[in-house]
Amino acid sequence: MITETHDITEELLNTLEKNHYSRRIKSHFLAYGVSYDFCRFYFVRENQDSDNDAVVSIFNASMVVSVFEGHTLSDNEISEIATLISMTKPVTVELGLDYSKRLSVLISEDYNVFDRTMFEFVCKNHIPKLDVNELPKLDDVYDILATSFPAIRNSYSLWLTDTSHRVRKGLSQSFTLKNCSSATIQYIIDGIAFVGHVATIPKERGKHHARELLYWLGERLNEDGFSVQLFARSYNVSYYTEIGFLPIYDDIVLERKDIDE
């Protein structure tokens, strides 16, 4: 069974399995708590008398599921999550690979499966001298991202509100290189800096700006004591390994079929 809850604390979330999904959920909680309708949390358990096995967060149009340490999700619980998906219709769904494969069968009519790979930067202890702005204006970041991400281009106010809020909370940070490439740390949780939304404006593509920025970020954040990770579609493995990222595991993300990329 699945029940919505406000009984979420950072201490409780620290007992989830140590992985990307838990950090995503924790970042939502640390940013917004339990007081906003666009950020909801649910417990998953086998029945009314059993312990909670997992936490589900639904943040705007994304769903993330993570399991408590020492617990597993039964077929019945996977089926309950599929029902929650049919009710809430998130654009993306993320959870551990074994569970996401089982879930994908139940929601295949409405969701596509996309392979992706998690990478971690391997530090060489050399930060190149680049013209990186570590505190850019968010409007400048938006102008870069809007050229590559339709979802951001079509929701400026939502993106700006959420990004600025996370930056103020110390959970996120954006960087630009020569005002033509940008990369954003989407969360900084438990010693992990997770990179997302990397883009370069069209007229500057092919000049290795994004590659240089990602390498600089890896070295810069490693110097500050963070491990730097990112997800990419599996066909881009060679691109990231050439920069200095090492693939550490494969994964899938479930995306609604009626949403254009």
When pLDDT is averaged across residues 116-130 and rounded to a whole number, the result is 94
Containing H/E element for 186?
Answer: strand 181-189
The H helix count followed by the E strand count for the chain is: 9, 12
Give residue-wise pLDDT tens across range 37-73: 999 999 999 999 999 999 999 999 999 999 999 999 9
When pLDDT is averaged across residues 132-137 and rounded to a whole number, the result is 96
Q: Half-sphere exposure of residue 2, counting CA atoms within 13 Å on the CB side?
A: 23
* Assigned token pair, 258: 């009626």
* Assigned token pair, 211: 């590659």
Query: What confidence score (pLDDT) does residue 118 get?
Result: 96
What Cα–Cα distance (Å) separates residue 70 from each residue in 18, 73, 187, 222, 223? 11, 11, 25, 31, 34
Query: What confidence score (pLDDT) does residue 233 get?
Result: 86
When pLDDT is averaged across residues 154-179 and rounded to a whole number, the result is 95
pTM assigned to the model: 0.94
In the chain, the domains with their CATH numbers are 2-109 (3.40.630), 119-256 (3.40.630.30)
Q: How far apart are CA 257 and CA 210, in angstroms?
A: 29
- Of the pLDDT bands very low, low, confident and very high (cuts 50, 70, 90), residue 235 is confident
- Of the pLDDT bands very low, low, confident and very high (cuts 50, 70, 90), residue 234 is confident
Mean pLDDT of the chain: 95
Q: How far apart are CA 168 and CA 171, in angstroms?
A: 8
Torsion angle (degrees, nearest 10) of CA 64, 110, 77, 113: -60
Q: How far apart are CA 244 and CA 238, in angstroms?
A: 10
Give residue-wise pLDDT tens across range 90-102: 999 999 999 999 9
Query: What confidence score (pLDDT) does residue 260 get?
Result: 58
- Of the pLDDT bands very low, low, confident and very high (cuts 50, 70, 90), residue 261 is very low
Give residue-wise pLDDT tens across range 177-224: 999 999 999 999 999 999 999 999 999 999 999 999 999 999 999 999
Give residue-wise pLDDT tens across range 4-26: 999 999 999 999 999 999 999 99
Non-local CB neighbours of 17 within 8 Å, separated by 6+ positions: 66, 67, 68, 69, 96
